[in-house]
Structure 1
Amino acid sequence: MTQLIEGSGISQFKALIQTLGYNKDVDIEFATVTAAPPNLRIKIDNMPVELDADDLVICEHLTEHTRKATIDGGSEVDIVYSAALATGDRVIVASNESAQVYVILDRIGGV
């Protein structure tokens, strides 16, 4: 029997990951960026301290980075992505508190 998950889309996504991808060592948390890179700091909801860049791993798509691309078989060009995190951004964080590893997975809105 399928059980409907109530709440916003983000809450439903978090509940789905916790239900289907449950791993007792990994938690999915929400956090707020309190300082932008290069001195990145985040505050995880319901956690009393802020974490700084030394405590965090950030997925590449959330950082400024360069990739090579070709368009319609033309010559190769560099594309610079400037999707760096900003103060106030809400993010999803996967955490393994026992290993003290916190991975910023993505930016979210409305939570």
Structure 2
Amino acid sequence: METLEGNPYSRWVQLIRQQSGKPQDRFLLGTVTAPPPGMRVQPDHIRWELDAEDLYIAADWLEHERTVRMEGMGADMHMEIRSPWKTGDRVLLLSMNGDQQFMVICKVVKAR
């Protein structure tokens, strides 16, 4: 296994590439055309739009509830986490299985 180099994000991408071992798996940019529920994404350079059935996304990126305990507060707190996705957001996608499935990795922005 080769040594991973660069910042934490580039090392993470390198690790995913090493583990997948499939040349058809690739990273793409896309634009959110509809936020969850029923999320849809239009990948750059692909003619068709992806709907929720085509997408995998980490559960923590969707709306959910969580109970947290904060030091010094003395009680558990119940929190509602809202989804950060909005129409027009740019996202990083991992294309898998020859463009049959896609994983939404994260929201991306242009460096300024």
Which amino acid is 2:56 matched to? Answer: V
State TM-score, norm by structure 2.
0.73
- Once the two structures are overlaid, the 10-residue window that deviates more, 53-62 or 93-102, is 93-102
Distance 1:25 1:52 in 2: 21
CA gap of 1:95–1:20, structure 2 versus 1, over 3 A, is closer
* Conservation of the 8 A alpha-carbon contact between 1:28 and 1:95: yes
Mapping of 1:20-35 within 5 angstroms?
Answer: 21-22=17-18, 23=21, 24-35=23-34
* Conservation of the 8 A alpha-carbon contact between 2:36 and 2:83: no
State TM-score, norm by structure 1.
0.74
RMSD: 2.9
Residue ranges of structure 1 left out of the alignment (5+ in a row): 6-11
1:57 correspondence with 2:56: yes
Distance 1:42 1:63 in 2: 15
Instruction: Tell me what 2:80 maps to.
Output: 80
List 4+ stretches of structure 1 deviating above 2 A.
16-23
